[in-house]
Amino acid sequence: MPESLEISLRYSGPSVDDGTMPVNDVVDALQGFSGAYSKVANFMNPELSPQLRVSAVKTGSFELQILGWILSTATEHEQHFKTIEATLYYAKHIMKILTELISAKKHVQGKPYTISVKGDGNTINIINAENVTIPVTVDTVNILKSRLVDGDLNKIAAPLRKDTIQKAQLIAREGQKQLEEASITSEEREFFRPEPVEETAAETEMEGRLVSLNKETNKGTFKLSKTDSVPYHFIGKEKESFHADFSYKGPVRATCVAHYDENKELLSIDIKSVERLQTTFQFPEDTKSV
């Protein structure tokens, strides 16, 4: 087994102090965490194969111990993923995004928010309706806007009740060192209920770069700018040609169907075809012979 990251999913409150919890709640919580973990991994890189395994159940509250690691299904990454550092890097980054997403959902409280980008795009701030700011990573913002894991986070929060199960905690540790932590209280449970999404779709063209591709599902990530990425699904007929286009490192123009939410925020795109865009060259001025 590869080196793993120890993850705790802990619930506390009067009804779980004996170390037991209703089976249906446990199943929903595990499905929620597993779904969120896998979707974030796929958003980062569709070639990653996330692995989770429950290692123990701790009593005195209800705490599930989960081992998390990452494998790569891509041959070209085989050597890269033989190192412990690379294996743990992705697992750590997934947990950082998940804990940031929980903090962001609590921060915005289901209300409108704005995004502020500083400098070269490495510093992203979420400004809530009360004009309070928190910093997050670029991946966290893109996943928050896409609502990719809203349903999964809702499952993690679902067991919370005011008088029974009052708090859920998600903790990541490496050995004795705690890396990430986020919590949801029963009072904050409402912030994690998925809002009804009224999607609209429109055929359009978009320019960007194909930064990842899972050749089995033909899904990946399309980078629109330094800070904006969106999940895509290739639905065209020429799959082999599209796979070849993916190897092209330059910008492309995608003919696609774009899916938007009720606020006109882009959620995902279905790509029908792509056209490679030529980079521009600076030609020297003509010189006259003497």
192, 227, 258 — which closes off a domain? Answer: 192
Entry pTM: 0.74
Give how far the C-alpha of residue 243 lies from the chain's centroid of Cα atoms, to the nearest Å. 23
- Evaluated on CA atoms 210, 214, 215, 219, the torsion sign reads negative
Note whether residue 98 is domain-resident: yes
148, 168, 192 — which closes off a domain? Answer: 192
Q: Which pLDDT does position 245 carry in this prediction?
A: 87
CA distance 47 to 44: 9
Same domain membership, residue 184 and residue 44: yes
> Is-contact 162 189, C-beta < 8 A?
no
> Is-contact 169 188, C-beta < 8 A?
no
Structure tokens at 238: 């020429």
Same domain membership, residue 269 and residue 134: no
Same domain membership, residue 26 and residue 164: yes
The structural domain count of the chain equals: 2
What string of pLDDT tens digits covers the 290 residues of the chain? 445 688 999 999 999 988 888 888 999 999 999 999 999 988 888 777 787 888 767 666 788 888 776 655 444 445 544 555 666 788 899 999 999 999 999 999 999 999 998 766 667 999 999 999 999 999 999 999 888 999 999 999 999 999 999 999 999 998 888 999 999 999 999 999 987 767 789 999 999 999 999 888 899 999 998 778 999 999 998 888 999 888 888 899 999 999 988 778 898 999 999 999 875 444 444 444 33
* Full domain range(s) for residue 255: 200-276
Same domain membership, residue 233 and residue 104: no
Q: 138: Cβ–Cβ under 8 A, 6 or more apart, which residues?
A: 121, 122, 124, 227, 229
**What string of DSSP letters covers 156-222?**
HHTT--TTS--EEEEEEEETTEEEEEEEEEGGGGGGGSPPP---EEEEEEEEEEE---BTTTTEEEE
Q: Which pLDDT does position 202 carry in this prediction?
A: 93
Same domain membership, residue 160 and residue 40: yes
Same domain membership, residue 91 and residue 21: yes
Structure tokens at 83: 């190192």
CATH number at residue 210: 2.40.50.140
